[in-house]
A and B are shown apart, each in its own frame.
Chain A
Amino acid sequence: MYYLSEQQRVLAEGARDKACPFGEDINLDAYIHDPDHDQVPTYDELVAEERETLVKAGFDVGDHDRAASFLQVNHAIGHCCRKVEGVEVMPMRQALELYDSLPEYWWQAVDVDADKYTAKVALDFDNGYFIRALAGTKTTLPVQTCLFMSSEKVLQNVHNIIVVEEGAELEIISGCATSHQMKQGLHLGVSELYIKKNARLSFTMIHHWGEEVVTRPRTVVQVDEGGTYISNYISMKKVRSLQMYPTAYLRGRGGTVRFNSVVAAPAGSHLDMGSRVYLSHPECRAEVISRAVSFGGDIVARGHLVGEDPAVKAHLECHGLMLSRRGLIHAIPELEGRAAGVEMSHEAAVGKIAREEVEYLMARGLSEEEATSTIVRGFLNVAIEGLPASLQKDLDELMARSNEGGM
């Protein structure tokens, strides 16, 4: 409560039961939020137990080739270190203390009363990370973060802020994962990203949740003049329910944003996800590319581009591949031109693998299974380049299952 103004608190209280228009409405009371009594493993214990899981979420436990690392386990900070100058990485609570509640950034992009999930994070805030690249800093190594859940039925409320100051360039790999022993859990994550003038942020988020986990990330990105935001989102593993609609506001001339997402939905997964971009200044550019593969799970792939200045360009692409007789892929691309002269386009396609392509590869010696896997991998690789080796392995395992479900 300390971290909310009275007005924010009233708004959050009023939104306690405010359902989100998208995705399943989650009963928050079904999860346990008890930071004082939660048994959180130490970083060393966790590393021994969950090394592989962390690696699959893109987290290098030895901090090798990383500019900084941040790990939160349930409600507690598991690990936080920094190896380079010019980049601040610290727990959110520490940043709020240090910088007088960060009035420029704290709840300035995301509304506390957007829905019951933002309200919950506001009212029962655990922690999160604060990352800032100071003006002009250009790091060659990425910062890594991981939000980890390890207790059964745990509710994790996280609030993150990332600031990339003028002229700075930063790369972040952010993993979200659960202990292999844990089945159910709820992750609520508010992220506010501020890309200042001529700054650049590449943000790769890898979800590696437990099969019965529910997650509701809430992300808003503000991009100033000449700034660039690149988001890569990857989720290859079953997750019971994910709903998110990250939104970027291009607030100055020449702002650029690209959302790439690659998701696979095994049977039992329900993903409702998309990206929204407001282009309100000249020469702003946006590209939203998604690749969705259903192995029997449900995927709603949304996208919404709003052109508010005549000199903007934007493109939206939702491609889906059905690899099972069951499951759903529902592509919902939306374009909203609010000024004469906008150039906005979209393409959406949902289908199965073309038999002709499979046999073409078989005619070069691949078995039917190998040919199918190769095509699916290619389909997904369109959006994400340079996938870490550990993720590629996950992807390969999924591919091997591509003939399940009556293909």
Chain B
Amino acid sequence: MLTVEDLWVDVGGKQVLKGVNFEIPDGRTHILFGKNGSGKTTLLLTLIGFSAYEVVQGRILFKGIDITRMPVNERVQLGMGVSFQRPPAVRGLLTRQMADICNRSGADYKELAERLNFTDFLDRELNVGFSGGEMKRSEMLQLMLQKPDFIMLDEPESGVDIENMHLIGKVASELLERHLNRTRKRSGLIITHTGYILDYLNADLGYVMIDGAIVCSGNPYQIFSTINEKGFEECANCTI
């Protein structure tokens, strides 16, 4: 599904990603761990194609196509989707209108909005005055309607209370088709700090990013447990 080869990325003239390599096969969900500022969000926003993230070396292959220089919307049309950690507020645009933009199939999403406890927010301006949890539910609704093949979630649990965490986790699992086994097609790359989302995903592989490079990969649950016990420093030595 996704192959990242020797990816070097500058942001505002500063080198942030330094030779990132990894591959996510069809149907697999991988987890990205790392301290704040290690380059995790930069990686996601580079994968989706935001212009502030300049690829200076390496390439990104999605479904076998080199998308390194492709505009954001074309990557989305190919099947990429992302839930942003801090999406911008768009004044004058109702959340319902954004949902309609995502809903290319024209499906009725009333029930979905209700499930996400989000119906009352549809007629509010997108992300204007939303709490962290409200933003995350809005992002998940948009992704559910967009139905991407490759799903990136940037800290889906940040700012979300326990009750809504359960909701987000279930929706993320559904989005990533974790209930399916052999027929599962969708893949994902998830950034998590708290690890709560792991309880819902039965994720396949974890990475640790330190200073713009992936220093370790392995069982995500084992990695998370090591980080909790010994911190990221231990990952730099990769004892797993």
Identify the A interface with B (CB < 8 A).
Answer: 354-357, 359-368, 371, 374-375, 377-382
The answer on a CB contact under 8 Å between B88 and A360 is: yes
Known contacts A359-B50, A361-B101; is A367 also within 8 Å of B88 by CB?
Answer: no
Contact B91 A378 (CB under 8 A): yes
**Would A378 and B101 count as touching, CB distance under 8 A?**
no
Interface pair B90/A365, CB less than 8 Å apart: no
Give CA–CA (A371, B82) in the complex, Å.
Answer: 17
Judging by beta carbons under 8 Å apart, are A367 and B73 in contact?
Answer: yes
Chain B interface mostly:
mixed
Chain A residues near B51 (CB-CB < 8 A): 355, 359
Indicate whether B231 reaches chain A with its CB closer than 8 angstroms. Answer: no
Majority SS at the chain A contact face: helix
Contacts A375-B93, A382-B92 given: A362-B76 contact, CB under 8 Å?
A: yes
Q: Does B71 lie within 8 Å of A378, measured CB to CB?
A: no
The smallest beta-carbon distance between B45 and chain A, in angstroms, is: 9
Residue from A361, A377, A379 whose CB has the most chain B CB atoms within 10 Å: A361
Query: From A355, which residue of chain B is reached at the shortest CB distance?
Result: B51
Tell me the chain B residues, 67-104 only, with Cβ under 8 Å from chain A: 71-73, 76-77, 81-82, 84, 87-88, 90-93, 97-98, 101-102, 104
Within the complex, which residue of B52, B97, B101 is in contact with A365, where a contact is CB–CB below 8 Å?
Answer: B101
A363, B87: Cα distance in complex, Å? 11
Task: Evaluate whether A378 and B72 lie within 8 angstroms (CB atoms) in the complex, with A364-B142, A365-B77 already known.
Answer: no
> Would B73 and A362 count as touching, CB distance under 8 A?
yes
Option from A360, A364, A371, A377 in Cβ contact (under 8 Å) with B92: A377
Interchain CA distance A354-B146 in the complex, whole Å? 23
Please determine whether A379 and B92 come into contact, CB atoms closer than 8 angstroms: yes
In contact, B72 and A362 (Cβ under 8 angstroms): yes
- Expressed in whole angstroms, the minimum distance between the Cβ of B36 and any Cβ of chain A is 19
Q: Which of B40-70 contact A (CB under 8 A)?
A: 48-52
| Chain B residues with a Cβ under 8 A of chain A | 48-52, 71-73, 76-77, 81-82, 84, 87-88, 90-93, 97-98, 101-102, 104, 125, 142, 146
Residues of B within 8 A of A356 (CB): 50, 88
Q: A355-B51, A377-B93, A378-B125 are in contact. List 20 more A-B contacts (CB 8 A).
A: A356-B50, A356-B88, A359-B72, A360-B84, A360-B90, A363-B73, A363-B84, A364-B146, A365-B76, A365-B146, A368-B71, A368-B73, A374-B93, A374-B97, A375-B90, A375-B93, A378-B90, A378-B91, A378-B93, A379-B92
Bound: A375/B88 CA distance, A: 12
Q: Tell me which of A354, A365, A371 contacts B104 (CB under 8 A).
A: A365
Cβ of A379 and Cβ of B91 under 8 Å apart?
Answer: yes
CB neighbours of A375 from chain B (8 A): 90, 92-93
How many whole Å from B191's CB to the nearest CB in chain A? 16
Known contacts A362-B72, A364-B101, A364-B102; decide if A378 and B77 are in contact (CB<8 Å): no
User: Are A378 and B92 neighbours in the complex by a CB distance under 8 Å?
Assistant: yes
**C-alpha gap A381/B125 in the complex (Å):** 11
A375–B102 Cα distance when bound, in Å, is: 15
* Cα A356 to Cα B101 with chains together (Å): 17
A67 to chain B, nearest CB (A): 30
| Given known contacts A355-B51, A368-B71, A361 and B90 CB-to-CB distance under 8 angstroms | yes
Contacting pair B76 A363 (CB below 8 A): yes
Expressed in whole angstroms, the Cα–Cα distance for A380 and B125 within the complex equals 13
Q: Which chain A residue lies CB-closest to B101? A: A364
A366 contacts B101, CB within 8 Å?
yes
Chain B residue nearest to A371 in the complex (CB): B73
| A360 CA to B87 CA, complexed, in Å | 7
Measured between beta carbons, the chain A residues less than 8 angstroms from B88 are: 354, 356-357, 360
Compute how far the CA of A360 lies from the CA of B73 in the bound complex, rounded to whole angstroms.
Answer: 10
Residue in A354, A363, A364, A366 with the greatest tally of chain B CB atoms within 10 Å: A363
From A354, which residue of chain B is reached at the shortest CB distance?
B88
Contact of A382 with B91 in the complex, beta carbons under 8 Å: yes
| CB of A354 to closest CB in B, whole Å | 6
**Cα distance, A361 to B81, chains bound together (Å):** 12
The CA-CA distance from A366 to B81 in the complex, in Å, is 13
* With contact pairs A362-B73, A363-B48, A364-B146 given, residues A357 and B104 touching in the complex (Cβ less than 8 Å): no
Interface centre among A355, A365, A367, A368 (most CB of B within 10 A): A365
Chain A nearest Cβ from B140, distance in angstroms:
13
A357 to B92, CA, bound (A): 12
